[in-house]
Amino acid sequence: MSKTISQSDLAAHNSVETGLYIVIDGGVYDLTGFVEEHPGGAKILKRVGGKDASKQFWKYHNEGVLKKYQERLRIGNLEEKAKL
């Protein structure tokens, strides 16, 4: 899981049809196959597709939830922006 995802690749994966990626604390997660399983419903995941969802995630979940799904859903890390 050493794949680096660019910001543009993340943004392109913003729906179930194109693949649904989100970022949580710099880690990129592919939720395409998880959308219908999500206990909170598909709507919220579709709303944050292709974006950093860290704030929304931590508002409703604890670290145990992240650990439970991390191995299955994490596909890499978001490419760091160059600091100028």
- pTM score, whole prediction: 0.91
Kindly tell me if the per-residue pLDDT of 56 is higher than 80.
yes
d(CA 29, CA 80) in angstroms, rounded, equals 16
The per-residue pLDDT for 84 is 62
* pLDDT tens digit sequence for 28-44: 999 999 999 999 999 99
* Dihedral over Cα of 20, 48, 72, 12: its sign: positive
d(CA 40, CA 35) in angstroms, rounded, equals 10
User: What contacts 49, CB < 8 A, 6 or more positions away?
Assistant: 13, 14, 15, 16, 20, 21, 22, 31
d(CA 33, CA 20) in angstroms, rounded, equals 9
The per-residue pLDDT for 80 is 85
